[in-house]
Structure 1
């Protein structure tokens, strides 16, 4: 049993992929950004980094604010991932490390009725996002748990890379990517219920 569980948010605790993709697709269309190139790398990376990469001539903060507004307008479409709450309840200690902003993360947790953890590391709290290990290292430090005693639960390749680089055990769920794309994880599960049964 791990001493602490570090959850990604989108695709692990909250089913937000349709909202995220619709919002970013809308933005890409409005700004002339290549959606076909953006979509495969969308999940698990901070919005600021994506805007900087795909629309370097635009005002990053203004564009992220626009996309966030699009996403927040669709909060009613969000759903809790089945089995997620049971994993949260079973974890001895837990935190969230998300590539989204704090306001967006809090809105999503409230929208689906999940509790807000004492430790929530968002894109607003870091200088380097996933796949860099900073988000997970910061969450572990805030909990006072060494990285080796943490379990990371992810759904995206960038998050898996971040957890592994932090020296943590990483398991993945196939909510937004196929198992073959998540092969770098220590274990891959079809559902959060499977994670609860096998890891917690």
Structure 2
């Protein structure tokens, strides 16, 4: 159950609005095979983080130019591959309800812009007017920069917003920004303790009373 009053909504993308599990696991599985790394270990670290941060973490001794080349190749592969991408249950309708109610909404993702837009469209989820991607921040998640920037672009402070996230790095980012943070899905982690949780968005009511709105469900 959630009952939250806020002035804006900040959404992560992968695992929060969009289920791209098959694409992500395939890309990192191939990367792991090429570099003798266990895919499960890579996935445990990479979820919610920028691709370059993951490459640097697992291949720290590579020349920075080669790290960037590998990251760019991974992203290019994922941009073109949208097969099997679907929405998190109720996500598309929930975003439409928020928009119809006049609630300010931003997407805050660790993905590059082209990748984010392709996945949102493939899943049938409307792209908010405000989109913050990896190109827009100096420090990726778990740093709070993305959520702070997303709120600012809505004309708000992060602590006036509610953030929906599913991964440890993203949840750390949202909490650090000051946003009221909601866990999406089943993650059990130290950072989820005490946070509200939803498994999907069906049944969440949106009541708008500008300059705030209320989510109940």
TM, length-normalised to structure 2? 0.83
Q: Judging changes above 3 Å, is the alpha-carbon distance between structure 1 residues 179 and 10 closer, same or farther for their aligned structure 2 residues?
A: same
Task: Tell me how far apart the structure 1 counterparts of residues 191 and 104 of structure 2 sit (CA, whole Å).
Answer: 25
User: What is the match of residue 186 of structure 1?
Assistant: 195
Name structure 1 gaps, 5 residues minimum: none
**Given the alignment, which residue of 72, 76, 83 partners 1:69?**
76
Aligned residues of 1:79 and 1:112 also touching (Cα < 8 A): yes
**Structure 1 runs of 4+ with >6 Å offset:** none
Structure 2 unmatched ranges of 5 or more: 207-213
Q: Residue by residue, what CA displacement relative to the aligned partner does 1:80-131 show, whole Å, maximum 9, x if unpaired?
A: 1121112212331100000111110011112122222221111111111111
Counterpart Cα distance in 1 of 2:72 and 2:139: 19
Q: Given that residues 20 and 71 in structure 1 are in contact (C-alpha distance below 8 angstroms), is that contact kept between their aligned partners in structure 2?
A: yes
Indicate the SS of the match to 1:188: strand
Return the offset for 1:182: 5.5
Superposed displacement of residue 51, structure 1 = 0.6
- For the pair shown, which has the larger CA radius of gyration, 1 or 2? 2
For residues 147-162 of structure 1, the aligned pairs below 5 Å read 147-162=158-173
How many angstroms apart in 2 are the aligned matches of 1:167 and 1:42? 23
Larger strand fraction of residues: 2
TM-score (norm 1): 0.90
2:67 equivalent to 1:60: yes
Segment of structure 1 superposing worse, 14-23 or 162-171: 14-23
Q: Which moved more, 1:86-95 or 1:96-105?
A: 86-95
What is aligned with 1:8?
Answer: 12
Residues 1:19 and 2:33 are matched in the alignment: no
Q: Distance in 2 between matches of 1:108 and 1:190?
A: 20
The aligned length equals: 198
Residues 186 and 29 of structure 1, relative CA distance in 2, 3 Å threshold: same
